[in-house]
Structure 1
């Protein structure tokens, strides 16, 4: 009764009634709270929460997966060729018809090479310039290097040499020629310009690469080896190390210059901000890494079928192995570079087109070829830098022609047309060229 002390007796019943209703209400509230409280049913609420969280995570994962598939797989029209890869594997196991296996593998690798370039570009958004440069150097010509490694494993040294040589010729003549031609048609009322100093540096590296390939060939054909059969191989491996050191120095020099120019542009303020707003990553960093691994692995699988079918396809399709290695394989590997170089040229961004075409040729010359020599050394396969006289002479003339085209720092559709026609001459030359060291020469050749 301490709670009612000082209250008039006349108001006591009403006060008790009021307190009763309040206590009843508070009891109901307590019961409701106890129903909702985790103390009442300790085993049910955490379980419901965990199920809800799992369902939420599953829905998020499902949405991201659908978004990724839409962006990476279903956006580009060229991806319609992706079913050719599984079809090549099925045809190989059912019929073992090398001609069909080769063509289907070739078509199946084209969209994978393009999507590999896309995944690399997306990953570069999340890295600094140094890591981005290394990624481009590693994955820019990944298709050619994967095909070369499988060919080396099977002892097909000439196919490796010719495919890498064909990649250089394709980039310098066909890719650059199409870029100049397309850009010249779009901007036919003016001459497009590009950074002449960068072109001169790349031309110098290509000439140095030609010197590295020319020395073992001259040593072989003049019969001036100190130890016959050994000096040529030893010179090739030593030269390969030198070329790799030069290429690493070039990457460092290029990245340092790019960083300096980037900092200089940042001082201007608005220009960089406007250019930076134009592009943004379409997928996250880890999604790019996952797609990069998927496409690299799938290219490796198809490359094995492709390499194993080359000799049989040469006989079945009556096409010389030299033509397959120098012309057909590089066109597949350079599909991504071909499309992007033309696209940038049509946007009047010739410096980027030049970096794609000539930069890729420099990568193959100063990194891809020496890398394969070292890998062959590790595998016990005696690959050297003697690309034979016909191939080396073709490369030397090509580098000279392109260097003359780039010396004035301008381009037009006529220059592009000349480069394309030069590539047709090279393609015709290798179609009638019989390599005595290759096997599987078609009958009647």
Structure 2
């Protein structure tokens, strides 16, 4: 989903009592926002004024009934992205788009052999890292509750909580045995960008995986490109597979990091207002670039893909993208719930309407059912030689006209045979070379 950074503030404690406690007032609050912002001025042929009278005539005993009426009214607009979010769902959404959550900074996984929970890694400068929790640590108990009985989702819910509150984790480590740490929850910046250098024969590749376009995604991408540049990569693979989108401006900012010139995206609102976003001369790299996409690459992912593909800046590999060509504004409502409203449609540089159509890759390569199942069970194989789409991206990079090849640095295995041979010749001119020794 592409979410425009237009979040209205929650009402203060001095807000009128009717707005905070009256379900009918909440219903009208939603109606007013849709009336003022919804992209389709015809409201999908719904008489929106009449709909208001219908909604306000309802007898709502509690918020649950009001929520049901709101959802039904929004459904009639025929737009799946204009939707109401109960307080708990709105909290999850705001965490995703802000790129932050309240917790201790651990990423969890399940060991397929033992079904036990373990720590995959810890977030930099998080309470977990500062407490010395390491990748591979087994989680035995969370707040004295057995972790063996929890799913990952249940464990994550147990770990989350208000900033400043306490949590205890009982862990096990091979060289340490069972131990306990007490942590204070903090506001954690979620890593939207993960990257690494991969030596593919004589090509040094910067592999970047972007999970979502959060408010921190652009700064994290800038850091990734800068670090990979210092490591002298000769090309990039940008993995957007399964990326559902996020903030519109994050996608524009990231496009500008790869694109020296050209249009990125344009948006048209209900009044016909046309906004254009273009490169601004702040590109960080001009090295060859391949983008990986699939049917789960949506919205902001499609903005970035469309901009770089249509400006001939990148080759796109994978399958056709999701096809979501709309922009939403997100509002915080008076009772802590939320509302996302479609306020505009967006178009790539060519002006093509991608809604419900998606973006077709330059190199189409689908995964078999077996490969998709393997990805689900072993997500770490993404971006490896066991990943067919990644392998095809490497092939594309190798055949790129401006591809630069770097001979891989030799692995440090002690004194190399060639150096030893030359040394022996210098010390003993009569020494004759013999076959290289075996390495076992």
Confirm or deny a common fold (TM above 0.5): no
More helix by share: 1
Q: Shorter-chain-normalised TM-score: which range?
A: under 0.3
TM-score (norm 1): 0.20
TM-score, scaled to structure 2: 0.20
Which structure's residues are more often strand, by fraction?
2
Structure number with larger C-alpha Rg: 1
Structure ranking higher on relative contact order (CA contacts 8 Å, 6+ apart): 1
